[in-house]
Structure 1
Amino acid sequence: MFSSGWRYYAEIVVSGAAPTRVSIGTSTMGIDPGVSTIAGVSEDACVLEELAPNAIQYEKKIQKISQSMDRSRRISNPNKYNEDGTINRSNRDPWKYSKNYVKMCRLLKSLYRKKHAYIVDSHRELCNKLITIARYFPVEKMHFQALQKRAKETKRQEKKTEVKQKDGTVKVIQKYKRKKRFGRSINRRAPARFLLELKRKAEAVGGVYAEVDTKEFKASQYNHVTDTYEKIPLSQREKEIGNRKVQRDLYSAFLIRNADLDFKHPDREKCEYEFEHFANLQDQLILKMKESGLSMRQCFGF
């Protein structure tokens, strides 16, 4: 008996030929991991995927149950809260929980378990897809723990906003920038777990998983045509390289794939030699994704 109810297992014996083993790729695929997506570029393929795309369905259910639990807890313990809704720290009475609250608590645990199982399964499926394309994976090193923290500095926005006062006058102000960063997306997508699974699977088939130093490499800033570094805003998902427009994440993965032997800088000669082929593969992938209705504007740019 589990918290979500009884679970039954059936053992099924299937006759016939065993499934053939998936062939492992032989090429090198540069990986540019993001908090919500993954971009990969190999010799003959480009990959742009959303991590755990259906995890948001579990998030909605978890949020709904959490709100119901909070309401139930407040109704059962009116003396434990102040008039403004905050918890009364001076009240030392034991908390009271209704039967429905205990039931929802079990359901919440079950949802977290299902969400975790789905994310791991989704990551492993994507890793299996990548392993059929390539065997060697240079990956940009990411510090997700730092990205999930709130910003410490309080800053104002550059743009000015008109705010209407109570007396009818209009005042021009600069609003504060949000301190929130990527904590919610990291919790929902678990990108670090994906990289862990990719490393495990690559090494299991005799491949190589190597990390590229982010600060040294600067894949998102480099332009191999001009051989310069230019910082662009995170909201800009496309770059113009030479006379071609490229998707930002895919171009970063292309640069990582063509890194030098020390994995510290892009090899410019390799980039110049392979760029046109990469740009054509990228255009084919984006066209195919648009025709299939796959869109994520804030990350893909379309």
Structure 2
Amino acid sequence: MCEIPLRVTRWQARVLNARFEAARQMYNALLGEAMRRLRLMRQSRLYSTARVIDSTDKERLAERRGLFQSARTEYGFSEYSLSQYATKLRKSWLGDHLDAHVAQKLCKRAFGATEKVMFGRAKHVRFKGKRGLHSVEGKSNETGIRWRVDHVEWSGLNLPMVKGSGKDPVIAHGLLQRVKYVRLIRREIRGKDRFYAQLVCEGLAYQKPDQVVHSGTVGLDIGPSTIAVYSGHEALLEQFCQPIVEDQKYIRRLQRHLDRQRRANNPECFDERGRAIKGKHPRNKSRRQRATEIILREYKRRQAAYRKTLHGKLANRILSLGNDIRTEDVSYKAWQKMFGRSIGLRAPSSFIAILKRKAESAGGQVVEFNTRSTALSQVCLCGQKHKKPLKLRIHDCSCGITMQRDLFSAYLASFVESNRLQVITANDSWSGAEPLLRAAWKQATQNQPASGRAMPSSFGNNRSQSGSPEKEDRAVHEALDAVGITVESQREWIGTGL
């Protein structure tokens, strides 16, 4: 995908905003119609009969699928039927702003959101509010929204790209590829609308000369605020997107200032103690309040763009160590309940999505394995299993292994295959990996952050293994005590499957 800034006049901007508003209203109409058909289908007798049939019954599985399909056909719950409804909508004023291809892509988008609700992958759909839809796209580069050499053509509009954009090597590489379809993007920057064209092209993305991807296995352990990486020749432990956290003080001050302005402009919505009155919504906005909202939106937009840049740089750095990346399959939604502010700032799920895309583009992969079958933060190379609370950041085992918890999990992750930890291989490689892990731990704890803040407690205290005191306070062992067991006896014990 190649993104190109467009040079748009005031008249063209008004036309584009009108078309984006028409697309928003059509999307909401299609989404409402799809949800209506889904509710009717779920209330039908065919659907109820199909749900009674056990999905594990192979003999009646075909009958169950047939009933579901009959229910979908009867109530028109399909993308094709919804596109026919979109054709009726285009006979109104919406057809003056949107062509058939854009309407069909909006239909596909709305039906996909409804299908997530039907299959249980989402609880509800989200209708777009005012200026809530910021992208429209076509189906091909032949009709509708089209890219022609150096400009976008769409129903009488001619939108040239910004002069000098073709000198960017990424854009120059994208312009040489065959364009499959074009997507128009609207962004608000410094209170003004800016428009971009995203060309979805065939082929591979541009790779900068300094971003070399190496082949090899990399173990990755990502947390709410830290990230640990291990490959066969390098280890890394650092704070995850730390520069983003330093901007929160300024954002908090803007939010408090905006709240004071909102209360001053709408005194009837709050009681004498400053509490919001139920049923009354603050709608009056002063000129200064609107200016504060623009400043806050702009700062959050820049923060999101900076976070995306940090994610891309970190993904390129990991791919320079190896393209076979293995990490735990973590529920980031569960993390939001415990570490909501940190997850909202650092966005680890977005980082994993970027890493997957870059790895696949480089011929590699990101393998996410089950945490229950591996439990990397609790197991040890000697076979023991330690139950550790989150506040315990150091893996300290009676077999003599002392290592920072995240680094040790990243090391073990590089030896996971088919949701099983290869303990023998990890044990054989430990002697060469321990100096790398200890050096990464030492560097992480000794480097003072540029902001002057204290080092996070999640890194743990780096103690030399030889000078560590007697390990009296240990975690509870769930497995047999394996102190003094030789490597051969460990192999026999592991081979039993215990």
Q: 8 Å contact 2:238–2:444 — kept in the other structure?
A: no
Q: Are 2:445 and 2:455, in contact at CA under 8 Å, matched by a contact in 1?
A: no
Whichever residue aligns with residue 290 of structure 2, its letter is V
CA contact (8 A) 2:226 2:458 kept: yes
Residue 240 of structure 1 aligns with which residue?
396
d(CA) in 2 for partners of 1:116, 1:90: 33
State the match for 1:22 in structure 2.
211
Q: Hey, what does 1:75 align to over in structure 2?
A: 264
Query: Which structure's residues are more often helix, by fraction?
Result: 2
Matches within 5 A, 1:286-297: 286-294=441-449, 296-297=455-456
Letter of the structure 2 residue corresponding to residue 282 of structure 1: L
Deviations 1:69-88 (A, max 9, x none): 10111112112112332211
2:457 is the counterpart of 1:298: yes
After TM superposition, the score normalised by the length of structure 2 is 0.49
Matched to 2:390, the amino acid is L
Q: How does 1:47-126 map to 2 (within 5 A)?
A: 47-91=236-280, 95-126=283-314
Is residue 210 from structure 1 mapped to residue 396 from structure 2 by the alignment?
no
Aligned to 2:331: 143
2:387 aligns to what? 231
Question: Match of 2:438?
Answer: 283
Task: Give the letter for the 1:120 counterpart.
Answer: K
Q: For the structure 1 residues 35 and 290, does the alpha-carbon distance in structure 2 shift closer, same or farther, using more than 3 Å as the test? A: closer
Measured after TM superposition, the shift of residue 21 of structure 1 is 4.7
CA distance in 1, matches of 2:327, 2:459: 19
Distance 1:296 1:29 in 2: 26
The residue identity in structure 2 corresponding to 1:216 is: S
Change (3 A) 1:91 1:183: closer
Distance in 2, matches of 1:6 and 1:143, equals 37
Moved runs in structure 1, 4+ residues, more than 6 A? Answer: 5-8
Q: Which whole-Å CA distance do the structure 2 matches of 1:26 and 1:198 have between them?
A: 15
Shift of 1:49: 2.4
Contact 1:238 1:301 (8 Å CA) reproduced: yes
SS at match of 2:323: strand
Say if 1:51 and 1:189, in contact at 8 Å, map to a contact too. yes
Residue 48 of structure 1 aligns to a residue whose secondary structure is strand
Structure 2 unaligned residues grouped into runs of 5+ = 1-9, 11-187, 195-207, 462-498
Aligned pairs, how many?
258
CA distance in 1, matches of 2:280, 2:304: 36
Cα distance in structure 1, aligned partners of 2:215 and 2:280:
65
Matching residue within 185, 190, 197 for 1:4: 190
Task: Judge conservation of contact 1:202–1:208 (CA < 8 Å) in 2.
Answer: yes
Q: TM-score, normalised by structure 1?
A: 0.79
Partner of 2:426: 271
Q: 1:290 to 1:49 in 2, by over 3 A?
A: closer
Deviations 1:178-224 (A, max 9, x none): xxx20000001111111111111111110121111012211111112
User: Which whole-Å deviations, capped at 9, do the CAs of 1:255-295 have from their partners, x for residues lacking one?
Assistant: 11111x312x2111012101122211011122333443256
Report the RMSD for the aligned CA atoms in angstroms: 2.3
- Larger relative contact order (C-alpha < 8 A, sep ≥ 6)? 1
Equivalent-residue separation in structure 2 for 1:201 and 1:3 (angstroms): 27
Amino acid at match of 2:354: E
Q: Contact 1:36–1:191 (CA<8 Å) still a contact in 2?
A: no
Match of 1:128 among 313, 316, 334: 316
Aligned AA for 1:270?
Answer: T
- TM-fit CA distance, 1:6: 8.0
Partner of 1:249: 406
Instruction: Give distance in 2, aligned partners of 1:297 and 1:76.
Output: 42
Amino acid at match of 2:289: Y
Mark the CA change 1:228 to 1:61 in structure 2 (over 3 Å): closer, same or farther.
same
2:356 corresponding residue in structure 1: 199
CA distance in 2, matches of 1:197, 1:3: 24
Match of 2:63 in 1: none
Unaligned runs of 5+ in 1: 9-18, 150-180
**Paired residue for 1:46?**
235
Does structure 1 conserve the Cα–Cα contact (< 8 Å) formed by 2:325 and 2:366?
yes
Distance in 1 (CA, whole Å) between partners of 2:458 and 2:375 is 19
Secondary structure of the equivalent of 2:352?
helix
Cα distance in structure 2, aligned partners of 1:224 and 1:26: 26
Which amino acid counterpart does residue 140 of structure 1 have in structure 2? Answer: E
For 1:96 and 1:7, the matched residues in 2 are separated by 24
Identity level (%): 28
Question: Could you tell me how far 1:7 is from its partner in structure 2?
Answer: 11
- Which is greater in Rg? 2
Report the Cα offset of residue 57 of structure 1.
Answer: 2.9
